[in-house]
Amino acid sequence: MKKIELLAPAKNLESGIAAINYGADAVYIGSPKFGARAAAGNSLEDIKALTDYAHKFYSKVYVTLNTILFDDELEEAQKTIHQLYEIGADAVIIQDMGILEMDLPPIPLFASTQTNNYTADKVKFLEDIGIQRVILARELSLNQIKEIKSKTNVDLEFFVHGALCVSYSGQCYFSHAIEKGSANRGACAQACRAYYSLIDNKGEVIIKDKHLLSLKDLNLSDNIHDLLDAGVSSFKIEGRLKDIDYIKNITSYYRKKIDEALARRDGLKKSSSGKIYLDFTADPEKTFNRGYTDYFVNKRNKDIASPNTQKSIGKKIGKVKSIPENKNFFIIESKEKLDNGDGICFFDNQGRLQGTQVNKTDNNKIFPDNLRNIEIGTEIYRNFDINFTKQLSSSKTERKIFAIFSIVETEKGIAIQAFDEDNNQVYFEHELEKTIATNPERAFENIQKQFTKSGDSIFKITEVKTEFEQALFFPMSELNNLRRKALELLEIERVKNYSRESFQIEKTDIPYINEKVDYKENISNKLSKEFYKRHGIKDIENAFEIQSDFSNKEIMITKHCIKYQIGACEKFEKNPTKFSEPLFLEDNNRKYKLEFDCKNCQMKVLSPE
């Protein structure tokens, strides 16, 4: 049976435990340092606590150490990887190839999407040097994923939900170019979410003050079957900076979607254990989102950008039907119900996002805190659902592992055997003075009742088998103690039998896919230079982050094309709009030249001169 994984993010220990409880087969969490989300680092103690918890369900914990490293950080990074192995981490996610030159423990290494895993050649190279999993570029189509799978055997991970980086991962130098940190160093300043104006070569403004590089959020929940067919085995949710409500809602939503897909297929199963008993209906539109897109998985389309806002808009509720004169409410046309305390938002007639709170409702009469800019026909979104938020906060969702008890009479008392769904089992005998039950039927009912309880353990008892010559009487307290002992021993046995994968990197001299490398390979230390030299590269350019002159360098490469968005693409439009090129993006301080690689359908943003 091939194992399929739902992989959820963990901002911290609490979020990681929630991800496990709500259905994740694995979680990824930031190491104390060197993670691509510097604000989401975690202590070794918390990571160990998370691995201990996850492994009870045979879920895995992957730790991100996916920034590029400087020379003075190499020793600490190597030490950290050894510590992560010692505390039980299942894999380390990396970007810097210098790590493969280190003295490492036998822990699997995953190639972060930051290593720009866009082609079959690149993925095959990573497989050949010992990388155990490749996290694919978000920009890939189903056909491209299929091609990669046909030419490789490595495990493939793909993002299916969450915020989108507009740049190819690992190829964005925007933050560093404007001296606000480096995305490759875990300090992205999110320059892509800022306002820009699009101007032509004559200085004419084509579009003024829009979020021209900001994308909608990814949602591939309708593409699970296609992605399975393409060869994806790990379905990744973005969000190591997201709150715990996001983790609960989105993880449980994709758990249900993936389980439905697996139920319709032979030869596939989820990679962890236990069933989720959910006490709410998951809905991704009720969680932070900028509107959703399937990006490039199916085909290029124009509905991927979010130029009017970089903020969450939530779920579309309906349109304003009327606004009675001299009243403090509007009437909405909607099948959805708004409630007191909900947050609503809308785009005004200038295309700007506005928001207010609902103070009171009376059927379809909505009394907002502020009526300003709301007009007849305005589309209303709910970006804060107070009742759903309360549901998530008070949720008692549980994850339980199926188990069976067998209770057999012995010469000196009884023997108890417990089995779980993964064939772990424990056995012990209990001596007692046998007392024949005066009410045999009630005696067997008590045994069934007490041994079916599982309390706050990780187990759900699905069957209790008994075998006695005569019905015996047991005090309730004795039955409860025996059940607790059996479940405690079974949990210990589960954890003892957890099998952590092991892999030791062996250095090779397989030629790299290119003969030359430039700064976009992100080579920032002596070990990464040694790595590329060993793989045949003689001419090595330093990483962008250790250069000083950025003039006219590409600081972003993206498949999102502004010309395509505005109908000016000569490749896709029959009568494209013409502009005086080159085109530029302009903010309050700088002007960035745009270059268009139409052959490869890519747009490049250049650093100011």
* pLDDT score of 361: 97
Token digits of residue 111 = 């190639």
Q: What is the mean pLDDT of the chain?
A: 96
pLDDT (mean) for 589-595: 93
Select from 107, 97, 11, 91 the least CA-distant residue to 59: 91
Tens digits of residue pLDDT in 232-262: 999 999 999 999 999 999 999 999 999 999 9
* pLDDT score of 588: 85
**One-letter identity of residue 124:** K
Q: Per-residue pLDDT for 589 more than 90?
A: no
pLDDT (mean) for 467-471: 90
> Which residue do the tokens 């979607």 mark?
257
Q: Per-residue pLDDT for 38 more than 90?
A: no
Residue 47: pLDDT band (50, 70, 90) is very high
Token digits of residue 284 = 């991704």
Q: Per-residue pLDDT for 390 more than 90?
A: yes
Q: Flag the least confident range among 178-182, 450-454, 597-601.
A: 178-182
Q: What are phi and psi of 392, to 5 degrees?
A: -65, -40
Helix (H) or strand (E) holding 529: helix 526-534
Token digits of residue 483 = 């059940």
Angle CA(227)–CA(229)–CA(230) in degrees, nearest 5? 60
Tens digits of residue pLDDT in 301-356: 999 999 999 999 999 999 999 999 989 999 999 999 999 999 999 999 989 999 99
* pLDDT score of 181: 87
The DSSP line for 348-392 is -TTS-EEEEEEEEEETTEEEES--TT--TTPEEEEEE-HHHHHHH
* pLDDT score of 453: 94
Residue 342 CA, distance from chain mean position: 27
Tens digits of residue pLDDT in 58-67: 999 999 999 9
Select from 215, 219, 212, 214 the least CA-distant residue to 235: 219
**pTM, two decimal places:** 0.96
Share above pLDDT 70 across residues of the chain, in percent, rounded to a whole number: 100
Domains of the chain: 2-164+216-279 (3.20.20.70), 308-393 (2.40.10), 398-497 (no CATH)
Select from 191, 287, 281, 271 the least CA-distant residue to 239: 287
* pLDDT score of 587: 93
Residue 36: pLDDT band (50, 70, 90) is confident
Distance CA 185, CA 386 (A): 37
